[in-house]
Every structure is written in C-alpha cells, then in structure tokens.
Chains A and B, each alone.
Chain A
C-alpha cells in the first residue's frame, strides 16, 4: 500500500486531521444547552443535514462490506443488498419523517417512553446504546491505519478514533455536522474521480466482463435465496436507526427532513453503485495482473482506487476513507452518549437534571460509549458477524413497539411495549445462543447453520434468519400485552417538549 502513497498524500491527511480538531474547538460553547449540543438547536442548514445523514450511515463497514461483496459476488452486492436499504429510506422520507419531526422528540427511546412508559424506554435505550457503540468503525479504522500508516491497529484506532471523540466532546452535533459536511464532500469527489479512472484503467466493463467469473454479472448472484432475503431484511434496521432519527429530530421542519432524506437516498444509490463497480473493477485488476494477486477482498477497493488516482488526490481519497469511519464514530457515539444521559440517567437517576447537568452527563456517556466500543472492537475475529448480531438485536427489540407507537391508532398499554421489547430481546438471544449450541459452524459463510430433515425434505436454519422468528414473536408479544393494563397512549402531533 505504501508504494501507492506519496509524501504529499501523507501531508494532506495530516492537515485534514488538524482541521477536524480545529472545528471541534471552533464549535465549542461552554454554556450550550442540551438541545443545542444534541440537535444543534434544531437549526441545521439543508447541506449540513444531508451531509451528516449520508456520512453517518455510510461507515467503513459498508464501504468495505459492499466492495468486498462486489469483489466476491459481483452485481448482487448492489441489486440484491444495497437497493433494499434504499427502498426503506424512501419509506422513511415519505411516511415516517413527518410523524417523527412534528412530534418534537429528542431521542428514539423517548418515543417508547411517551407510548409505553419508562420500563420499555429503558430497554429501548440499552438496545439503542449497544447498537450505537462505535465497535465496527473503530475496528475498521484500526485496519485502515495499519495498511496506510503501517502502525498497529490498536494504536491507529486509539489515535484516529480519539480525534473523533475529541471534537464530538467539544462541539456536539454542530461539530459533528460541520466535520461530516467536509468529510462527505471529500469522499464524494474522490470516489467520483477514482472509480471511473479505475474502470478505464482495466479497460471498461467490456474488459471486466472478460476477466471476472460470469456469475458476477448475474443481478442476484449465486447466494442462497433465503440468505439474500435475510440480508435484505436486516435493512429493516434503518427504519429504527437511532442516529438517523436524531438527524430527523434536528431538522428545522418535517419538509426539510424529508427533502434531506430523499437527496441522501439519491447520493447513497450512486455511492453504492460506484463502490460496487470499484469492487468488481478491483477483481479485474487482480485477474489481469495490474494489482498483486494476494490482495485481500476487504482491501481491494481501497488499494485499487488509490492506485488509479494521481498523487495528491490519493491523499484526499485516503483522508476521505478515514473520514468515512470518523463520521460514523462521531455520529453514533453522540447518540449512545445521549442514550446514557437523556434516556437512562435522566429518567432513572435524576429526573430534575438541569440542562448543564444533562450536557455533562452526555459527555461522560460519550466517553463511556467510545471506551466500550474500543474494548469490544478487538474482541471479535469476525466483525461483520457482530454487526449483523447487533442489528438483529435492535430490530427484534424496538422495531415493533416503535412502529406501533407511530402508526397504530388503537390503544397502547405499557405491558404491550414491555412484553414486545422483552420477548424480542429474549427470543433473539435464545436464537443466537441456541443455534451456536445445536448448529454447525460453516467456515465458508462464517455462521452457524442447523440442518434437519422432515420426511424426505431437508431444511437449513441460519443464524442470519433470526429476524424471521423474532419479529413475529415481538409482534405477538405486543398484542398479548395490549390486553392488559390501561392505555398509555399520548398524542404525538404538535407536542411540545418540556
């Protein structure tokens, strides 16, 4: 990797890191209120809102994951996987954004608190916090710093992740949004230049088709259909993504939130395609001997684009790649910190906490979340398995109660939320632990699979199928709980937040 990076590229990366810290210092306000710290005073401009939405969701796990999938399986990475997520974003823009923004919420667990009470919101806050721990981003950041700077992954993640932590602590969402805007622009421009250069370097798609396996141009690839369906279902998590919710709450109006999501979706689509095209072109570059044959599929996109870009732009691209991880770390750590302060400390320990105390508790929460994320990041060999597990946990736990809170017009009892959350959580843990005990580990797919026969038919249950079982259990739990207790429903429309 080092041979593709010139000294001027390293200088650009260094200047970029200095700029991030400076923005944190610039955004620092000693007397900022909680709403100002967490939601930038609900006064973000549209470009900032779009940038912070796009860059927070688009982390290195997705950058590496999509390009790796494209390298291994071809166009399926776009048509079988990425497009389902994008469809859910359209649903959020047209159906959910208006409800979420008009109700003036501050966090996702607050929706649960208003609809079902504090017990349910506490479970929601824990799920949200676990989901928002910056585990995968810190892991990926360590990996990037290993092959860009040649430093140990632990130190790389600590230093670069520490910079993201510093400016988040100093400036809150405002600093996060400003850095995200710059980070996002850098990434867009360099990917937009780098991928077409890489594609022409390998002779265009006509030549790529000749040098990669024929199955790579099959739109849905060669992955088992149920697994493809399970991957697509895991995209349901975007409908309850706490960080995306925070951006919607931070918008000036519901209309601004909807327009920002629609623009972001168009950007995500083009970005996803370019990453997938880059992954396939990287495989062609390896097949034709342009790149070394021992390139890891995870790193292929990064190495190939750096190879294709001229000196100077490579530095901006690598800075953009670091930015991709840092913008995810800052965004999610901020939300995890607020789950600890606003959704746990405030309702359970100090209901009369002042604004200043909440900001202080959030900053402590941010440090706790970052530290937990750092510790967990290096405990797992297969970080994608952890990512899918965490996504499944939050979806199984809060998907049904949150969507019912927003869309179900009938009465809602505290027991409905509590049983739905708890049943979802217990079922997903039982499913994962149970399958690891009675299933067989498959080295090729890196997951546990239980195979059994009924009569002459053979069936396989993968760990990735957890949602197919846990979501219905959570839904049944909701309706069972709804028969008990008194209604806890509050009207969300035009509610003022105290």
Chain B
C-alpha cells in the first residue's frame, strides 16, 4: 500500500463518517423538535 492509497482510505473514512454523523444528528434534532412541537 502506497502513501496515496493510505491518504485515500483516510479521506474516505473521514468523509463517510461525516456523512453518517451529520445525517444522524440532523435526524435526532428533527425528531426532538417534532416532539417539542407536538407537546406544545
């Protein structure tokens, strides 16, 4: 494995986890605000 391969995998891990984290945080926030709206 060359340095370029390593860099590519590192970027892929960062980008993939960013996508997952942002989507899950967004869904969590949306769920919470929906709950808050319905309780009001």
**Which A residues form the contact surface with B (CB < 8 A)?**
45-48, 50-51, 181-182, 184-189, 191-193, 195-196, 199, 204-206, 209, 263, 266-267, 269-271, 273-274, 277
Contacts and interface: CB of A to CB of B under 8 A. Distances in A.
Q: Which 6 A-B pairs have the closest CB atoms?
A: A188-B19, A192-B16, A185-B23, A270-B11, A205-B4, A192-B12
Contacts of A191: 12, 15
A51 B25 CA distance: 12
A263 B22 CA distance: 11
Contacts of A199: 5, 8
A392 to B, nearest CB: 31
B2 interface: yes
B27 to A, nearest CB: 9
A431 to B, nearest CB: 38
A192 B15 contact: yes
A20 B12 CA distance: 26
A196 B9 contact: yes
B39 to A, nearest CB: 19
A273 B19 contact: no
A47 B5 contact: no
Contacts of B14: 266-267, 270
B26 interface: yes
A186 B5 contact: no
Contacts of B29: 45, 47-48
A47 B26 contact: yes
Nearest to A280: B4
A297 to B, nearest CB: 20
Nearest to B29: A45
Contacts of A187: 19
A48 B27 CA distance: 10
Contacts of A192: 11-13, 15-16, 19
B2 A206 contact: yes
A189 B20 contact: yes
Contacts of A186: 19
Nearest to B22: A47
B18 to A, nearest CB: 5
Given A188-B19, A267-B18, A274-B12, 19 more contacts: A45-B26, A47-B22, A47-B29, A48-B29, A181-B22, A184-B19, A185-B23, A185-B26, A186-B19, A188-B15, A188-B16, A188-B22, A193-B12, A193-B16, A196-B8, A196-B9, A205-B4, A205-B5, A269-B11
20 contacts: A47-B25, A48-B29, A51-B22, A184-B19, A189-B19, A191-B12, A192-B11, A192-B12, A196-B12, A199-B5, A204-B2, A204-B5, A205-B5, A266-B14, A267-B18, A269-B11, A270-B12, A271-B15, A273-B11, A277-B4
A50 B2 contact: no
Interface string B14-38: 1110111011011001000000000
A266 B4 CA distance: 18
Contacts of B25: 45-47
Given A181-B22, A184-B22, A205 B2 contact: yes
Contacts of A267: 14-15, 18
Contacts of B16: 188-189, 192-193
Contact of B15 (A46, A51, A270): A270
B19 to A, nearest CB: 3
B10 to A, nearest CB: 8
Max chain B C-beta neighbours (<10 A), residue from A185, A196, A267: A185
